[in-house]
Amino acid sequence: MHRQRTKLAKRANRVASAVERRGIVATYELHERLLGNRRSRRRFAAETPELDETQRRLVEALDHDGYVTLPFTELLDEELWQRVERQGAEFVVQTERTLAEGGQGKVRAGKEFVVRRWSFEGATLGADDAWFTACTSRRLLDVANAYLRLWAKLSYVDLWYTAQQPESDERVASQNWHVDFDDKHLLKAFVYLSDVGPESGPFEYVPGSQAGGNRVVRPWVPMGYGRVDDDEVTARAGSDAVATFTGPKGTLILCNTSGLHRGGFATAGPRVLATATYCSPASLKALSNRNYESARETTDPVVRFAVS
């Protein structure tokens, strides 16, 4: 009797999850085709940003490969870089102190190897926050909007300290190949705040594997399929297909993570970076949450849209 009830409960749960999933997928499609994204595409088309040569080059590379990389100071100025670098150094001191005292810092369940500056604790960020200033600059935002062909939302802003771990550990969570399932109109920015070599958990990507790209391994679907095995990536994309982003401190990577990516398996020392996510208004995340409150005072409608 008890076993029968357990079986029934499991079945009911499965049905409920399938219904919920269908609801989420339908909501995404509705916002993608009719609601939020249509409005945001119209706004973009009415006021297409004027890009300079560097920005145009970035958008072209993103269109073709789904990623591009360059020194931070080729897009944004040296003074801002120095502020971001200082912010990173302070975060490292604070994090290493916490870890030395036996604390864990701000981590998310299942991804304890990444200590976050803000995580999802509702930070209030303004002009005094260097990385937030970079993320809300028109230089970067215009690239995101021009690539996504709409006014994007800035849904996540953070600093990450990826802790060193033994080589014998198994890769877990985002250390494995996966695609982000909450939106196909995605642009993530990563700025290395430590030198990143092959053993420091470099970010990796399969160029062209982004939604609509020329090397799609599996078509993108909202709520997706999580992890993809190494064998499938090699078999379908080819063993030479992977771009591994080693690079010095100050390297900026822009990437559409609706494509296959992984990173953060740092065995030679910690990896420190600043990260941000630009997405469309239809993103399952933008519809539900953002990890900060903006205290940035601006009358610029493009920036206001991104942070609201």
Q: List interacting residues with ligand AKG (CB under 6 A).
A: 174, 180, 188, 203, 257, 261-264
Residue 156 to residue 154: CA distance in whole angstroms: 6
Q: Which is nearer to ligand AKG, 144 or 302 (CB)?
A: 144
Alpha helices (H) along the chain: 2-33, 36-46, 53-65, 72-75, 78-100, 130-135, 138-148, 230-237, 284-288, 301-307
* Min CB(302)–ligand AKG separation in Å: 24
- The residue among 87 and 174 lying less far from ligand AKG, judged by its C-beta, is 174
Among candidates 73, 75, 70, 69, which has minimal Cα distance to 53? 75
Q: Which is nearer to ligand AKG, 55 or 275 (CB)?
A: 275
Nearest residue (CB) to ligand AKG, 44 versus 192 = 192
Nearby residues of 71 by Cβ (< 8 Å), 6 or more positions away: 250, 251, 252
CB of 227 to ligand AKG, least distance (A): 11
Nearest distance from C-beta of residue 18 to ligand AKG, angstroms = 25
Compute, in degrees rounded to 10, the torsion defined by CA atoms 283, 284, 287, 292: -90
* Rounded Cα gap, residues 286 and 293, in angstroms: 13
Q: Are 211 and 259 in contact (CB under 8 A)?
A: yes
Taking the complex as a whole, the smallest distance from the CB of residue 156 to ligand AKG amounts, in Å, to 9
Q: Could you tell me the smallest distance in angstroms from the CB atom of residue 7 to ligand AKG?
A: 36
Instruction: Specify the residue, 174 or 194, whose C-beta has the smaller distance to ligand AKG.
Output: 174
Question: Whole-number minimum distance, CB 288 to ligand AKG, in Å?
Answer: 17
Q: Rounded to the nearest 10 degrees, how much is the dihedral formed by the CA atoms of 142, 144, 146, 147?
A: 160
By Cβ distance, which residue is nearest to ligand AKG? 263
Tokens describing residue 134:
């970079």
Nearer to ligand AKG, 114 or 143 (CB): 114
Q: What's the closest the beta carbon of residue 8 comes to ligand AKG, in angstroms?
A: 37
Q: Which distant-in-sequence residues (6+ apart) come within 8 Å of 93 by Cβ?
A: none
Nearer Cβ to ligand AKG (116/296): 116
